Amino acid sequence: MTNHTVESLLAFSERVKAAYLDKKIRSPVHFCSDTQAEPLIDIFKEVRPHDYVCSNWRSMWHALLKGIPEEEVFRQILEGRSMYLMSKEHRFLASSIVGGMLPTACGLAMGIKQWRIDRLPAEDRGKSFEYDKYEETDPRVWVFVGDMTRTTGLFHEFNKYSFGHRLPIRIVIESNCLSTNAKTRETWGDYPFNEPGMKQFYQYERTTPHVGLSQRVNF
Amino acid sequence: MLLLAAQPNAIFLGQGVASDGVAMYDDLNGVQASQRIELPVVEELQMGMGIGLSLMGFLPILVYPRMDFMLRAADALVNHLDKLAEMSRGQFVPKVIIRTRVGPKSPLDAGPQHTQNHCEAFQMMLTSVLVDEIRRPEEIMPAYGAAIRRTGSTIVVENIQ
């Protein structure tokens, strides 16, 4: 839990935008939409310091809300690492590949579950494992994906395995109804995506292009 | 495999590690059931599971019964296991041991999808993960011993025809 507000998140984005337009960032930056700020602040009220966050290429606000200091996030962005911000101390990972963090998140959660099983009384270890076996001190793995990632085959494998094995995973689907610029639902036709799993959704409207800003930067 | 199983927090994952049915299963004789996780056929997920388990302090040994099948894990291998240390500036350095084999062509020829040797191709794509191809039985133990000692990850390719 951090003290970030809508205003502080927006101010950070403005700082990055200024650096971007000033040609200080020589790699792609995926800016968050203004409409993401409120839902993200709400979601991160549940994310604890000992939890892991596995994010994606649009992760600057996730990183701030996870507790990575603003200067550290800004430094990594200036170094061209906006698409894969990382912090071991803050248990934060990201990937610029669609769904790229899903398998790693699964492995982190398997490790957490195994750690818990090893600490159960011997007579309980062979029994079926349910979510209530986890304790408050056990980390959870939070996974942030877009709406197209959610429709991929890899996501379905990930969701099936993590739900089927009761892994300590929370999936947040951040939907702008777009995959880059394509309309996600239209590309799949009329398929109902209603599989079970530990998912929550929020929808937002994009306020910047998929990558960069509406202004061309000539280096 | 007992050498690997004896390592702290070693855990075997893959198809045919707890259920009989592939040639590599017999090699796990003596490995405790608690160290084996039989997976569905999820090659890419499996590779990433190894990354995550490694970051949680385990030594994952990922079993791919044929090297051909590893193509399905290429993203998690090339873009993540191989690049995570670089992307994180050394903060996350997963150590995973991958065991696979090149399928034999005689006395039975398993055909073009079960006998490919992709060692050279993977070597060209990988910058930190080591590909160690072994061709003689006496190379097996040194290869796995070296994989245990390495800081990073290793693919041990058993190509003993």
What integer pLDDT is reported at residue A198 of this predicted model? 66
What integer pLDDT is reported at residue A122 of this predicted model? 86
For residue A89, give the DSSP letter.
T
Per residue in B57-97, pLDDT tens?
999 999 999 999 999 999 999 999 999 999 999 999 999 99
Is the bond preceding B107 in cis, omega lying within 30 degrees of 0?
Answer: yes
pLDDT grade, residue A191 (50/70/90)?
confident
Q: How many CB atoms lie within 10 A of CB A23?
A: 10
At residue A177, does pLDDT exceed 90? no
Per residue in A120-176, pLDDT tens?
988 888 788 999 999 999 999 999 999 999 999 999 999 999 999 999 999 999 988
DSSP letters for B75-131: IIIIIIITTHHHHTTTS-----EEEEEPPP-SSS---TTTS---HHHHHHH-SSSEE
Q: Which chain A residue has its CA at the smallest distance from B41's CA? A: A157
Say which residue, A208 or B46, is predicted with more confidence. Answer: B46
| Domain spans in chain B, listed from the N-terminal domain onward | 2-158
Mean predicted confidence (pLDDT) in B31-47: 95
At residue A66, does pLDDT exceed 70? yes
**B2-158 has CATH 3.40.190.10 classification:** no
Asked if B79 reaches chain A (Cβ–Cβ under 8 Å), the answer is yes
Check A115 against B56: CB less than 8 A apart. yes
Asked if B44 reaches chain A (Cβ–Cβ under 8 Å), the answer is yes
Q: Which two tokens stand for residue B111?
A: 């055909």
Q: Which two tokens stand for residue A135?
A: 């304790």
For residue B133, give the DSSP letter.
E
What integer pLDDT is reported at residue A203 of this predicted model? 86
The two beta strands, A52-55 and A169-175, are unpaired
Range in A72-86, B11-25, B92-106 with the lowest mean pLDDT: B11-25
| Radius of gyration of the CA atoms of chain B, in A | 15
CA proximity to B15, closest of B3, B26, B24? B24
CA proximity to A168, closest of A95, A91, A98? A91
What integer pLDDT is reported at residue A1 of this predicted model? 64
Asked if B16 reaches chain A (Cβ–Cβ under 8 Å), the answer is no
**Looking at this predicted complex, what is its ipTM?**
0.95
